Amino acid sequence: MKGADIFLECLKREGVDILFGLPGGVTLDIYDSLYDCEGLRHILTRHEQGAVHMAEGYAKASGKVGVALVTSGPGATNAVTGIADAYMDSVPLVCFTGQVNTYMIGNDAFQEADTLGITRSCTKHNYLIKNVKDFPRIVREAFYIARTGRPGPVVVDIPKDVSRADAEFVWPETVGLRGYKPTIEGHIGQVRQALKAILGSSRPLLYVGGGAISADASDAVIRFAEKLNIPVTVTLMGLGAYPASGPCYVGPLGMHGYYNCNMAISDCDCLFAIGPRFDDRVTGKTDEFSLKSVKIHIDVDPTSISKNVPTQIPIVGQIGRVIEQMYEELAKTDPKVIEAFKKRIKPWWNQIAQWEKQNPLCFKASTNGKVKPQFAIQKLWEVTKGDAVVATDVGQHQMWAMQYYRVNHPRHFLTSGGLGTMGFGLPAAIGAQFAKPDKLVVCISGDGSLQMNIQELVVAVEHKLPIKVMLINNGAHGMVTQWQRFFYKRRYSASQFMQPDWVKLADAYGARGLRVEKPEDMEAGIREMLKVSGPVLLDVKVDPEEDVFPMVPAGGAVNKMILPESPLS
Amino acid sequence: MKHTISALVENEFGVLARVANMFAARGYNIECLTVAETLDPTVSHMTIVTSGDDKIIEQILKQLNKLINVIKVSDVTETDHVERELVLIKVAAEGDRRAEALRLVEIFRAKVVDVSPDSLMIEITGDENKLRAVIELFKNLGIREIVRTGKVAMQRSQKTKAARKPVEEAA
């Protein structure tokens, strides 16, 4: 069997039904085999970064491993941003890169890049296949590594002569990686200690991160939080892990998190962290972060524990399983202890409600006839009843989406949290729509972000995907201008730029372009956007002077927020 | 504080680069690193000397463990272990200095491995303290060139205190 055919057979054995990519000289054999391959759908993207983000969107929305296939040299280097993005957000992804012939490697051959070297720092693992016989083993290991433990991207570099060489197809029955054994079960002693700390506390807080979603542990989180009535705050990546409409939900926290959440994390006496990584956008100044609390941290990746903030009760294990263990221990606990705990934390709930009353999440209604971006997103949430899969880009619109699109389900809010990659939203939405054809998928983007991968709009048109792009258009790199307003005396250096005519641009790609310029037209505009069956780009001209509040200045303490009435604003 | 880390890794191409890259990407310093095949040709042993506070060392150990090609990692610093390093010193040995050089070779149980009319090449193994002392003494005679292998370390087997002593002396 030819290497290229072995490759495709391996993908099928791994349950892959779709891959995103762009061909090139060294992957021609693979593409030739794909030509009449049944059971595998290849989506031709217009840029390799788009291919990887689509695979990410597919993986985030479905929970399956996303697959991308790109060529050598520039194909591989174009894919690096997407790979790094997947690495930061723990997205299960396998990216196959073409490579020059094995005998040419190292000779600066045409379109050669040291893909292994370049991607070493931004992959969970990477491989170069030197012998066609290793193909099935390496593909099997790559998928296993990508989806187990802390998920992440794996790169497999395929030299052209390997994809042309012949070998017998032998599928390995098992994966044998002696240095890689992710911990599933939590240490029972630590589990008991954690439960004791929670039940002994007066001001507990559950702090849920993206790890809870990638481990599909949302149900376990809900069950545990509601059994004990513990307030739940989530990170940007954790949105949807606990429903925004749930009784224990208090909101997202961090640099642009809700006031009550940031105050709560600063004042709690027991911080129960489920799968976050204590990112600096959440902790602010670590020296002043949640100083009064005992910290419990569940994570499948031991390196995340005590990396940024010291943890007193670390539990390494798969989140769903560890919470189940806690639940089993809880079942053995005297109900009186649980009742006493619930009673004890009542004043804490009152305090959080008080904070919310003191500084609720809000924005001022428009007085200048311009659309407030928050209003646009809130309307989208109302009209879609919070049921859409939302993909965002990066910037102010992303933060408003976090604040005003109240997510109720896991895998319904897809965003680039760790790397902060502008250009993520549109291709990720396309990938998500392929994963969930029956779902409404909306990409909330900004005019800076959307231009970074706008070429992928034609992919949505080509495949008749009913994707809706809601463009929060303020004519600038909004978050940059916000920082320039606050910290650089309104000197807008290189942050405002000329715009294309977005409606015409959408039309040029074969999509439908719509525009909203007045607040009173907002709801009708959204309804019109949803009515159209194919892809739509809704250009919402918003107030360019609007800022995201609250805001924790970078490196500041998380409870010292800039609020709309602050002198800086 | 200095730490000696012992790691068993897959004997494959690129593994050394992965380990070195982990240190470089996270801003940790490698003071020395030695690597060679073990009895099992598919496994190599690395001895890494690095420094940092407890938090940094904890991260280094965890991050090393996280690498797919790393089979086992242990910090042997606080455990009962033997450390050795090999040094080759080319020392000036003209006239009276030759006798003094040979006397030092005798004292430190070193070995002369090459001789020329005006210099000697000396091979010495030992732990860090011994090598530092030797090098200091030879400096007075005039060291022309020096090459060090970097440290290798191995944990001692479990023994009673009485049984351990002669082994220590022999080592």
Is the Cβ of B125 closer than 8 Å to some Cβ of chain A?
A: no
Residue written as tokens 């897959």?
B10
Does the CA dihedral A322-A328-A331-A333 come out positive or negative?
negative
Evaluate the omega torsion of the peptide bond into residue A550 and state whether it is cis, within 30 degrees of 0. yes
For residue B164, pLDDT beyond 70: no
Residue of A237, A399, A479, A551 marked active site? A479
Give the per-residue pLDDT at B167.
Answer: 46
Nearest-CA distance B152 → chain A (Å)? 22
CB atoms within 10 A of CB A359: 18
Query: With contacts defined as CB-CB under 8 Å, which chain B residues touch A303?
Result: 59, 62-63, 66
**Are residues B60 and B28 in contact, defined by beta-carbon separation less than 8 angstroms?**
yes
| B83 CB-contact burial (10 Å; exposed 0-12 / middle 13-18 / buried 19+) | middle
Query: With contacts defined as CB-CB under 8 Å, which chain B residues touch A180?
Result: 68
Give the per-residue pLDDT at A325.
Answer: 97
**Are residues A138 and A168 in contact, defined by beta-carbon separation less than 8 angstroms?**
no
Nearest-CA distance B72 → chain A (Å)? 7
Q: Has A479 been annotated as catalytic?
A: yes
Cβ neighbors of B102 (< 8 A, separation 6 or more) are B93, B112, B120
Query: With contacts defined as CB-CB under 8 Å, which chain B residues touch A178?
Result: 10, 71
Which of A120, A179, A302 shows the shortest C-beta gap to B10?
A: A179
Please state the rounded mean pLDDT for residues B39-67: 96
- Identify the CA nearest to A70 among candidates A157, A11, A135, A165: A157
For residue B168, pLDDT beyond 50: no
Write out the E strands in A39-141: 41-44, 66-70, 93-99, 125-128
DSSP string, A326-373: HHHHHHTS-HHHHHHHHHHTHHHHHHHHHHHHHS-S--PPPSSSPBPH
- Identify the CA nearest to A397 among candidates A437, A424, A364: A424
Which of B17, B63, B72 shows the shortest C-beta gap to A303?
A: B63
Per-window interface: B 74-103 vs A, CB < 8 A = none
Give the per-residue pLDDT at B161.
Answer: 56
Residue of A9, A14, A48, A56 marked active site? A48
d(CA A130, CA A125): 16
Q: Has A531 been annotated as catalytic?
A: no
Q: Has A370 been annotated as catalytic?
A: no
Buried b / exposed e over A78-104, threshold 16 CB at 10 Å, is bbbbbbbbbbbbbbbbbbbbbbbebeb
Give the per-residue pLDDT at A567.
Answer: 56
Which residues on chain A place their C-beta less than 8 Å from a C-beta of chain B? 116-117, 120-121, 124-125, 128, 145, 177-180, 301-303, 306-307
Instruction: List phi, psi (to 5°) of A201.
Output: -90, 165
Q: Is A486 left (phi over 0), alpha (psi -120 to 50) or beta?
A: alpha
Please indicate whether, in this complex, the C-beta atoms of A120 and B18 are within 8 angstroms of each other: yes
Please indicate whether, in this complex, the C-beta atoms of A121 and B21 are within 8 angstroms of each other: yes
Nearest C-alpha in B relative to A301: B66
| Interface pTM, i.e. ipTM | 0.91
Nearest-CA distance A248 → chain B (Å)? 34
CB pairs under 8 A between A and B: 35
Cβ neighbors of A473 (< 8 A, separation 6 or more) are A446, A447, A499, A502, A539, A540, A541, A542
Query: With contacts defined as CB-CB under 8 Å, which chain B residues touch A145?
Result: 68
Residue of A160, A295, A379, A541 marked active site? A160
Residue of A12, A110, A328, A346 marked active site? A110
Cβ neighbors of B119 (< 8 A, separation 6 or more) are B90, B91, B92, B93, B144
Instruction: State which H helix or E strand residue A468 sits in.
Output: strand A468-473
Q: Has A111 been annotated as catalytic?
A: yes
Ranges in chain A, pLDDT < 50:
569
Instruction: List phi, psi (to 5°) of B113.
Output: -115, -5
Query: With contacts defined as CB-CB under 8 Å, which chain B residues touch A128?
Result: 14
Query: With contacts defined as CB-CB under 8 Å, which chain A residues touch B21?
Result: 120-121
Is the Cβ of B65 closer than 8 Å to some Cβ of chain A?
A: yes
Give the per-residue pLDDT at B169.
Answer: 43
Which of B17, B62, B69 shows the shortest C-beta gap to A302?
A: B62
Query: With contacts defined as CB-CB under 8 Å, which chain A residues touch B25?
Result: 121
d(CA A273, CA A315): 10
Does the CA dihedral A526-A527-A530-A533 come out positive or negative?
negative
**Are residues A42 and A21 in contact, defined by beta-carbon separation less than 8 angstroms?**
yes
Residue of A1, A104, A111, A285 marked active site? A111
Write out the E strands in A160-217: 204-208
Does the CA dihedral A301-A302-A308-A312 come out positive or negative?
positive
For residue B162, pLDDT beyond 60: no
Does the CA dihedral A553-A268-A351-A264 come out positive or negative?
positive
Residue written as tokens 């495709």?
A8
Is the Cβ of B32 closer than 8 Å to some Cβ of chain A?
A: no
Query: With contacts defined as CB-CB under 8 Å, which chain A residues touch B63?
Result: 303
Task: Provide, for chain A, the percentages of residues in helix, strand and coil under a 3-state DSSP scheme, each rounded to the nearest 5.
Answer: 45, 15, 40
Please indicate whether, in this complex, the C-beta atoms of A303 and B59 are within 8 angstroms of each other: yes
Residue written as tokens 């802390």?
A150
Please indicate whether, in this complex, the C-beta atoms of A178 and B71 are within 8 angstroms of each other: yes
Q: What pTM was computed for the model?
A: 0.95
Nearest-CA distance A201 → chain B (Å)? 27
